[in-house]
Amino acid sequence: MSLSLELRHNGPQLDFTAEIPKGQITALVGPSGSGKTSIIRAIAGLLKIKHARICLEGECWDDSRRHLPTRERSIGLVPQHHGLFPHLSVLGNVETSLSHLTSRDRRIRALECLSLAHVEELEGRHPHELSGGQRQRVALARAIARNPQVLLLDEPFSAIDRGMRKRLYLELRRLHTQLGNTVLLVTHDLDEAAQLASHLLLIDQGQLLQAGETTRVLTHPQNEQAAQLLDIPNVFEASLESTSSALSQLRWGPHTLQVSTTGLTGTGRVKFAVLPQNILLVKTDKPWGSHLENPIPTVVQDVVALGWEVLVLLEIKGNPEVQLQMRLPERAMRRYPIETGSEVIVCLRSSDIILLE
């Protein structure tokens, strides 16, 4: 059973329906102002939604008849700036969420949670004496203290430096493996979603654009809007010339592309996307032959070093207004040096060409 959501609201604008799988980390990804935080606040019962249906395993927290108060929902929340109580110690912060227990049990459970979050040695400190990473761990310890079925993380790593963030990713994964609760992680960082979440919900302007397994969503956008949000620059328009059961032919400027398709019918204008890392550079000494899939002659416009990767901007021969972006590992550049102005052949494998709706 999953956490099922149906949210319709004006100001903030929401028209959102989704299923969040049980026991998994699901990332809610979208640009600023897309309604991510509103969705998480609605699940927590902090935002009253005009038309809401929020059900967890058959128990409805929100529907047309009821709005369960936040304190009665089995949730833990880590807000963006951690929301720690500044006047209470670290231990006091965690104990606050355990007011249903006796004083002795409260202390035992709070220390257990601090230990799980690896901050047991900070129990006597106050929030202003902690670093960003420590505050985040304390907020996490407080959020898991009541053993919630759903853990809501609202951009919890946004105020933390990059190095600490990487360590916290590992800690969150470890904690999730131990606890096994359903986690909804709000983020606008695709790398963060890729590293932490097994499922991904892509939203914009309060609407779900795409949902599915993280790798699948990140590599197979359904439409142009999703491709834009997934930061895929290679989105082009072509004509669908012919279709068969397994392959279709696209006319793209002077070039013809073979595309793997199933169930595609008709002809006309279509849009397609290619991930920059899926564009293959053909070795210059490789014989030009029929075994190459969709070979495209190009001219290198620019080479941008990005550390361990290189971004190569290519102009398509015979289609100069189109620019193709290719990402190569840095070591590939050392083996096959290419420079601005040189002519190279790239391959677009038929299975890597994604037709957009």
Partner 1 sequence: MMDWTAVILSVKLALVTQLFLLPPAIICARWLALTSFRGKPWIEGVLALPLVLPPTVIGYYLLVAMGGNSFLGRWFEALFGQPLAFSFSGLVVASVLVNIPFAVQPAQRAFEAISLEVHEAAKCCGLTFWQTFHRIELPLAWPGILSAMMMTFAHTLGEFGVVLMVGGGIPGETQTLSISIYDRVQAFDFSSAGTMSLLLLVISLVTIAISYGMVERLMRRRRSS
Among 96, 198, 225, 267, binds partner 1 (CB under 8 A): 96
160 versus 324: smaller Cβ distance to partner 1: 160
Q: How far is the CB of 355 from partner 1 (least distance, A)?
A: 43
Instruction: Reduce the DSSP state of residue 333 to 3 states and report it.
Output: helix
Q: Which two tokens stand for residue 159?
A: 């105020």
Distance of CA 128 to the CA centre of its chain: 31
Window contacting partner 1 (CB under 8 A); options: 41-49, 175-183, 308-316, 346-354:
41-49
Q: How far is the CB of 86 from partner 1 (least distance, A)?
A: 4
Window contacting partner 1 (CB under 8 A); options: 3-11, 112-120, 139-147, 312-320:
139-147
Among 11, 58, 86, 337, binds partner 1 (CB under 8 A): 86
CB atoms within 10 A of CB 188: 16
Backbone conformation region of residue 266, classed left if phi is above 0, alpha if psi is from -120 to 50, else beta: left
CB atoms within 10 A of CB 355: 17
Q: Binders of partner 1: how many residues, by CB under 8 A?
A: 28
Task: Work out whether 99 is an interface residue with partner 1 (CB under 8 A).
Answer: yes
The site map against partner 1 for 52-81 (x = CB under 8 A) is: -----------------xxx---xxx-xxx
Sorted by sequence, the CB contacts under 8 Å of residue 132 that are 6+ apart come out as 159, 160, 161, 164
Q: How far is the CB of 85 from partner 1 (least distance, A)?
A: 6
- Residues numbered 174-203 forming contacts with partner 1, rule: CB under 8 A: none
80 versus 225: smaller Cβ distance to partner 1: 80
Backbone angles phi, psi at 140, to 5 degrees: -70, -45
Separation between Cα atoms, residue 94 and residue 107, nearest integer Å: 9
Q: Helix H segments across 98-161?
A: 103-116, 132-144
Q: Which two tokens stand for residue 97?
A: 């969420």
Among 56, 143, 217, 353, binds partner 1 (CB under 8 A): 143
Instruction: Reduce the DSSP state of residue 124 to 3 states and report it.
Output: coil
130 versus 344: smaller Cβ distance to partner 1: 130
- By CB under 8 A, name the binding residues for partner 1: 41, 44-46, 69-71, 75-77, 79-87, 96-97, 99-100, 127-128, 142-143, 146
